[in-house]
């Protein structure tokens, strides 16, 4: 299947944008930059808009989700919007009892820990994704030539929340399940892969020009466990949208040892967190992959000269790769001064891109 003729990638609105050009390994006219979690708590306009509305409700109100997605594009002049939502939205749409508790994160009414628990998990209907499609369509109509990036949680991270029932530091629950009940784990990972794949596909078909799979907790895994128990599910998620032809990014935190396996799951672009220099990531990937990253979010609070030196070093390392999209090595901290992000975008745009 291909995208509709009115899709921004097909009608020319975003196909020649700096972001899509860089994602596809071309030579952009200007260095593309966007930030994970650029839409959200660091922006006063976001806090004002969200007042009195819980997180999941804000994700499922199309007009609000669209407005939040657009806010950082207007303020910072970034080269892409990232769709405002949450990785547990597919669970909510399916009818799983889940909420995002302020100061805690996603919390399930009942954790999923047995084969019977997995067997009774609901499946969402295609119509349940309509609020997502509507929010994407509203956003794309306002963005013009700026691409929208769709996203989904990778199956391991989604399933880890489901097993623990809440955020966890070490993710012992899902890691134990892999080895003590491997069939139950694979059934749960398959459920999460199907849900995330459908969620991402709805965004891409509705107008997103690229997609990113977030594996926030994969860094808790050994390479052997990732390859044996997780890579197949991530491959299924990405395969669910591969036929659409949009660039696909795969990002995780603490995943320096997993980068080749994450790329091999079906990614066109590999996201690199702040722990690993881009030149080392490039070496581990054989010098063949477009990279995204990896400014350290902690330095956003540093004196400007310290941040500028760090950013310029990231740009120089990115110049020695097959392609580079500038981003943070994780999300924007909620206490970040928005003016710093705007100034950072201006700095990145002021440095001519490398010849490729």
CB 310 within 8 A of CB 294: no
Q: Which of 24, 41, 228, 343 is catalytic?
A: 41
Q: Which two tokens stand for residue 267?
A: 């990614």
CB 182 within 8 A of CB 219: no
Helix 182-206 to helix 172-180 angle (10° resolution) is 120
Q: Which of 24, 30, 50, 186 is catalytic?
A: 50
Query: Is 11 labeled as catalytic in the residue annotation?
Result: no
Query: Is 41 labeled as catalytic in the residue annotation?
Result: yes
Q: What is the CA radius of gyration of the chain?
A: 19
Query: Is 37 labeled as catalytic in the residue annotation?
Result: yes
Q: Which of 37, 75, 113, 201 is catalytic?
A: 37
Largest CA distance in the chain: 57
Q: Which of 23, 46, 161, 226 is catalytic?
A: 161
Q: Which residues contact 99 (CB under 8 A, 6 or more apart)?
A: 54, 56, 106, 107
Closest Cα partner for 60 from 110, 34, 94? 94
CB 213 within 8 A of CB 267: yes
Write down the residue that tokens 């921004």 correspond to: 8
Query: Is 50 labeled as catalytic in the residue annotation?
Result: yes
Q: Which of 46, 75, 79, 86 is catalytic?
A: 86
CB 59 within 8 A of CB 85: yes
User: Mind telling me the catalytic residues?
Assistant: 37, 41, 50, 86, 161
């Amino acid at each position: 299947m291909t995208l509709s003729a009115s899709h921004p990638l097909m009608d020319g609105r975003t196909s020649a944008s700096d972001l899509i050009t860089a994602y596809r390994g071309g030579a952009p006219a200007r260095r593309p930059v966007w930030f994970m979690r650029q839409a959200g708590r660091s922006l006063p306009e976001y806090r004002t808009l969200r007042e009195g509305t819980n997180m999941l409700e804000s994700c499922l109100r199309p007009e609000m989700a669209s407005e939040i997605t657009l806010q950082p594009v207007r303020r910072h002049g970034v080269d892409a919007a990232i769709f405002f939502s949450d990785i547990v939205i597919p669970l909510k749409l399916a009818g799983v009892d889940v909420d995002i508790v302020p100061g805690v994160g996603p919390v399930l009414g009942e954790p999923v820990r047995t084969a019977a628990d997995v067997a009774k998990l609901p499946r969402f209907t295609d119509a349940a994704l309509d609020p997502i499609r509507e929010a994407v369509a509203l956003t794309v109509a306002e963005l013009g030539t700026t691409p929208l990036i769709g996203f989904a949680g990778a199956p391991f991270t989604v399933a880890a929340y489901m097993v623990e029932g809440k955020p966890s530091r070490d993710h012992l629950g899902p890691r134990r399940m892999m080895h003590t009940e491997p069939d139950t784990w694979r059934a749960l990972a398959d459920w999460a892969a199907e849900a995330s794949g459908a969620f991402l596909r709805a965004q891409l078909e509705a107008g997103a020009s690229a997609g990113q799979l977030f594996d926030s907790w994969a860094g808790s895994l050994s390479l052997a466990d990732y390859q044996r128990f997780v890579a197949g599910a991530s491959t299924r998620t990405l395969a669910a949208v591969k036929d659409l032809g949009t660039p696909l990014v795969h990002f995780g935190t603490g995943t320096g040892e997993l980068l080749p396996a994450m790329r091999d799951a079906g990614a066109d672009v590999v996201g690199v967190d702040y722990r690993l220099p881009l030149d080392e990531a490039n070496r581990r990937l054989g010098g063949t992959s477009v990279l995204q990253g990896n400014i350290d979010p902690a330095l956003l609070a540093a004196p400007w000269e310290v941040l500028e030196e760090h950013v310029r070093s990231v740009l120089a390392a990115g110049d020695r790769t097959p392609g580079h999209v500038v981003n943070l090595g994780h999300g924007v901290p909620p206490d970040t001064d928005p003016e710093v992000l705007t100034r950072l975008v201006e700095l990145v745009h002021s440095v001519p891109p490398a010849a490729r």
